[in-house]
Chain A
């Protein structure tokens, strides 16, 4: 691999990653379909193609492990798609474990580590055990009066599909279609599209009876359950002639059976016809892995551009800088107007508005590029669900809604681990055993719902199960055992507080540590990781009915609207996503409750926190005369009033992370440029709420509940 550039290697890995994800997606769809008792040949085909492409790529990059693994898998998938093997749950298990093995191999290859992988050996062993396929059954195709020429050029795959369709007692039709050479690609697609509603097109071949130089005639072999009349109604046209292929009277009359490799000698359909193909893959036994095939499969994947997210960050930084230029622009226009040059000022303002509009478009464009559907991470989770449910012998129905909800790519990357922990917990602790479910009259299969939706500037993700719910007394008992809670305080805890205990480190309601999620690591890490993304997590649970965990996340990390505030002499930005309202502070209405300042807001008590005191800011000169404000920040169900000295208004900001030497400083999400070269700190509302409400709102007597 020495002569291959780093960039090409990088491309190779991300492409391989993409292909593996596609493969995983196909397998999941196959799994779902097979449990519903149906079977979609195109899924097997796609899986086959994915593995085949991967093999080709691996060959190009000298990744031999990847290559040999793919080769073996390809054989298995080939046997499946040609009907030599039946897709069983065991086979699917092996295929799923292949996805995991692929990921491990990729990781090692990427790190350049040449180390043997037990996963791969195990996989190869399993592939061996699946062994050679079921022997061929006798062909019922001979019952039809086939044109021997047509039968002879079928690929093994097409022959298999033909056989399957005939076995299902479908009728066979021949569609003779005239195509204009200039538009054949599109026209063929269209007819295939329409035909798909009525059956399957098994193959198509040029008849060789061309009537003019710029047209071509194809025979399409189609299987359908519909009658000839229906098909003529649906597909008939001036250039389409449909005939039924008659069944023979005597079924035992032997038809010439197509020799497997005879297609070598037969004329291949012309290239433009095949290029537009998308339904049955044109992978012929003879050109598998050949240069033609490799070239085509590589080309088909280059319609998207993969971009390092840091490059997008860089672009976003430039947008931020341009916004500062924009500000200077409008100030100059203002000055020119004040100097009396109205005409010039008007022109400048027009330019400024234009610039402003384009800049927002650019900002939106960059943001859009960063957004990816949550489906990416949900698919990975579906695999986890399948795996865990098989490990624990619990039948699980996974219901996903809102997979199309979009969120910042960086957030998606960080979400899969926390969500995986939550789902493991839900299946292990939440869903009861089948016997128990039967006793309480619940359906056999437990349901895990994964819902995502957008709510204003936030994305909500819910993980919901219909299991036993959280046993509050067990949680409390465990917390007391671990010394996180004094027994005397138990009575004072609100229901919500008790549920919040599951986020304490080391807490688990299981006594044994040998099951999937019973080690009690997990929920505290989940909470920390979600917190790092600026999100919060809430729990609702009903005993006997189920548990619902709701994650609230900001939609993007790159750019946010913020409220600019001042406390003493220092200016801060507070992301608007966490601000619910702002009001002026009437010092006379501040009460002290349990050692903390509170105000009454529309009949409910709002704890307030003076930013200058919390951050220990130096007194500014106007301290005594000014009028204060309260900014109400809310996350999930928690609210806190931040008392500040001045509100400047709203501004879009690009949040930049603080450097390493400031990584332990709590309360700030980063910093941002406010114009005039000045930098303002961005307050981390979630951390402040956490610090104020969880850290010290707990009355001192209840200090036994340890946090963090």
Chain B
């Protein structure tokens, strides 16, 4: 179980006075790309515990696991976003996210990188450009320090 403190910002970003409120994003890798989700939506980051597969479950569900007594359904974010599939590795992590209903879901990602801060003005609304299945889950694109970051809407992903 990784502590959020260990993935502190790589370098603090300037707090632009006129660029809107600053939001913090957790950066993770998935199928060779970098993605970001808003940090406030993430309860915890886990090394994958034993996961029990659920027969007859939808494809994107890896299975269920227990996090200190709480039953969590784990979704494979690669499958959820219809990316190329691959089994978990040593670097794989599960992000625990809470939906509006209060239910906690786990999202399996390839690796967790860092936390970045983006001002409102630094978030490009670029969902249309991406098109396809991704569009409905994307908030926009950010380019902190030369990275290309696809910012995901966590609530939309864990909604159903």
Chain B positions within 8 Å of A570 at CB level: 52-53, 55
Q: Which of A44-52, A209-217, A635-643, A665-673 contacts B (4 or more CB under 8 A)?
A: A665-673
Question: How would you classify the secondary structure of chain A's contact residues: helix, strand, loop or mixed?
Answer: mixed
The answer to the question of A616 belonging to the interface, with a C-beta cut-off of 8 Å to chain B, is yes
Most chain A CB inside 10 Å of its own CB: which residue of B66, B103, B105: B66
**Cα–Cα distance between A679 and B68 once the two chains are bound (Å):** 12
Q: Which of B58, B60, B64, B105 is the one whose CB lies under 8 Å from A671?
A: B64
**Cα–Cα distance between A615 and B65 once the two chains are bound (Å):** 19
Contact check, A668 vs B54: say whether CB atoms are below 8 A apart.
Answer: yes
Contact check, A680 vs B71: say whether CB atoms are below 8 A apart.
Answer: no
0/1 interface trace, chain A 649-693, chain B, CB 8 Å (1 if under): 000000011111110111110110100111111000000000000
Q: Which of B55, B70, B75, B99 is the one whose CB lies under 8 Å from A617?
A: B55
Contact check, A679 vs B56: say whether CB atoms are below 8 A apart.
Answer: no
Q: Which of A235-243, A317-325, A440-448 contacts B (4 or more CB under 8 A)?
A: A317-325
Of chain B, the residue at the smallest CB distance from A320 is B69
Contact check, A677 vs B50: say whether CB atoms are below 8 A apart.
Answer: yes
Chain A positions within 8 Å of B50 at CB level: 676-679
**Cα–Cα distance between A670 and B54 once the two chains are bound (Å):** 10
The answer to the question of B57 belonging to the interface, with a C-beta cut-off of 8 Å to chain A, is yes
Name the distance in Å between B14's Cβ and chain A's nearest Cβ. Answer: 40
Contact check, A658 vs B71: say whether CB atoms are below 8 A apart.
Answer: yes
Contact check, B71 vs A656: say whether CB atoms are below 8 A apart.
Answer: yes
Chain A positions within 8 Å of B57 at CB level: 661-662, 665
**Cα–Cα distance between A677 and B57 once the two chains are bound (Å):** 21
Name the distance in Å between A474's Cβ and chain B's nearest Cβ. Answer: 39
Contact check, A321 vs B68: say whether CB atoms are below 8 A apart.
Answer: yes
Interface residues of B in 66-86 (CB under 8 A from A): 66, 68-73, 75
**Cα–Cα distance between A659 and B72 once the two chains are bound (Å):** 7
Q: Which of B52, B55, B105 is the one whose CB lies under 8 Å from A661?
A: B105
**Cα–Cα distance between A376 and B99 once the two chains are bound (Å):** 35
0/1 interface trace, chain A 591-620, chain B, CB 8 Å (1 if under): 000000000000000000000000111000
Chain A positions within 8 Å of B61 at CB level: 661-662
Tell me the count of chain A residues lying within 8 A, CB to CB, of chain B.
29
The answer to the question of B101 belonging to the interface, with a C-beta cut-off of 8 Å to chain A, is yes
Name the distance in Å between B45's Cβ and chain A's nearest Cβ. Answer: 17
Chain A positions within 8 Å of B54 at CB level: 658, 662, 665, 668, 681
Contact check, B52 vs A677: say whether CB atoms are below 8 A apart.
Answer: no
The answer to the question of B160 belonging to the interface, with a C-beta cut-off of 8 Å to chain A, is yes
Contact check, A677 vs B71: say whether CB atoms are below 8 A apart.
Answer: no
Interface residues of B in 20-68 (CB under 8 A from A): 49-58, 60-61, 64-66, 68
- Asked, given contacts A665-B57, A679-B65, whether A658 binds B73 with beta carbons under 8 Å apart, the answer is yes
Contact check, B71 vs A679: say whether CB atoms are below 8 A apart.
Answer: yes
Q: Which of A616, A659, A667 is the one whose CB lies under 8 Å from B103?
A: A659
Interface residues of A in 86-123 (CB under 8 A from B): none
0/1 interface trace, chain A 452-465, chain B, CB 8 Å (1 if under): 00000000000000
Contact check, A615 vs B55: say whether CB atoms are below 8 A apart.
Answer: yes
Of chain A, the residue at the smallest CB distance from B101 is A660
**Cα–Cα distance between A656 and B67 once the two chains are bound (Å):** 13
Contact check, A317 vs B69: say whether CB atoms are below 8 A apart.
Answer: yes
0/1 interface trace, chain A 276-317, chain B, CB 8 Å (1 if under): 000000000000000000000000000000000000000001
Chain A positions within 8 Å of B52 at CB level: 570, 671, 678-681
Chain A positions within 8 Å of B56 at CB level: 615-616, 665-667
Interface residues of B in 127-149 (CB under 8 A from A): none
**Cα–Cα distance between A665 and B70 once the two chains are bound (Å):** 20
Of chain A, the residue at the smallest CB distance from B65 is A679
Most chain A CB inside 10 Å of its own CB: which residue of B57, B99, B160: B57
Chain B positions within 8 Å of A679 at CB level: 50-52, 64-66, 71
Of chain B, the residue at the smallest CB distance from A318 is B69
Of chain A, the residue at the smallest CB distance from B73 is A659
- Asked, given contacts A679-B52, A681-B54, whether A661 binds B73 with beta carbons under 8 Å apart, the answer is yes
Name the distance in Å between A280's Cβ and chain B's nearest Cβ. Answer: 50
**Cα–Cα distance between A660 and B56 once the two chains are bound (Å):** 14
**Cα–Cα distance between A237 and B67 once the two chains are bound (Å):** 69
**Cα–Cα distance between A670 and B71 once the two chains are bound (Å):** 10
Name the distance in Å between A100's Cβ and chain B's nearest Cβ. Answer: 32
Of chain B, the residue at the smallest CB distance from A569 is B53
Q: Which of B68, B73, B99, B101 is the one whose CB lies under 8 Å from A662?
A: B73
**Cα–Cα distance between A676 and B71 once the two chains are bound (Å):** 14
- Asked, given contacts A680-B52, A681-B52, whether A321 binds B69 with beta carbons under 8 Å apart, the answer is yes
Contact check, B71 vs A616: say whether CB atoms are below 8 A apart.
Answer: no
Contact check, B49 vs A677: say whether CB atoms are below 8 A apart.
Answer: yes
Chain A positions within 8 Å of B69 at CB level: 317-318, 320-321, 673
Contact check, A659 vs B71: say whether CB atoms are below 8 A apart.
Answer: yes
Most chain B CB inside 10 Å of its own CB: which residue of A615, A658, A661, A670: A661
Of chain A, the residue at the smallest CB distance from B75 is A661
Chain B positions within 8 Å of A668 at CB level: 54
Of chain A, the residue at the smallest CB distance from B58 is A661
**Cα–Cα distance between A667 and B70 once the two chains are bound (Å):** 21
Of chain A, the residue at the smallest CB distance from B56 is A665
Name the distance in Å between A204's Cβ and chain B's nearest Cβ. Answer: 56
Q: Which of B53, B60, B66 is the one whose CB lies under 8 Å from A673?
A: B66
Of chain B, the residue at the smallest CB distance from A660 is B103
0/1 interface trace, chain A 407-440, chain B, CB 8 Å (1 if under): 0000000000000000000000000000000000
**Cα–Cα distance between A570 and B60 once the two chains are bound (Å):** 20
Contact check, B55 vs A660: say whether CB atoms are below 8 A apart.
Answer: no
Of chain A, the residue at the smallest CB distance from B68 is A321
Contact check, A677 vs B55: say whether CB atoms are below 8 A apart.
Answer: no
Interface residues of B in 88-112 (CB under 8 A from A): 99, 101, 103, 105
Name the distance in Å between A706's Cβ and chain B's nearest Cβ. Answer: 22
Chain B positions within 8 Å of A318 at CB level: 69
Interface residues of A (CB under 8 A from B): 317-318, 320-321, 570, 615-617, 656-662, 664-668, 670-671, 673, 676-681
Using A671-B71, A677-B49, A679-B50 as known contacts, list a sample of 14 further A-B pairs with CB atoms less than 8 Å apart, ordered by residue number in A.
A321-B69, A616-B56, A658-B73, A659-B64, A659-B73, A659-B103, A660-B73, A661-B73, A662-B54, A662-B73, A670-B71, A673-B66, A677-B66, A679-B65
Closest 3 CB pairs of A and B: A659-B73, A615-B55, A656-B71
Instruction: Jot down 5 A-B pairs with beta carbons below 8 A, ordered by A.
Output: A616-B55, A665-B54, A670-B71, A678-B52, A681-B52
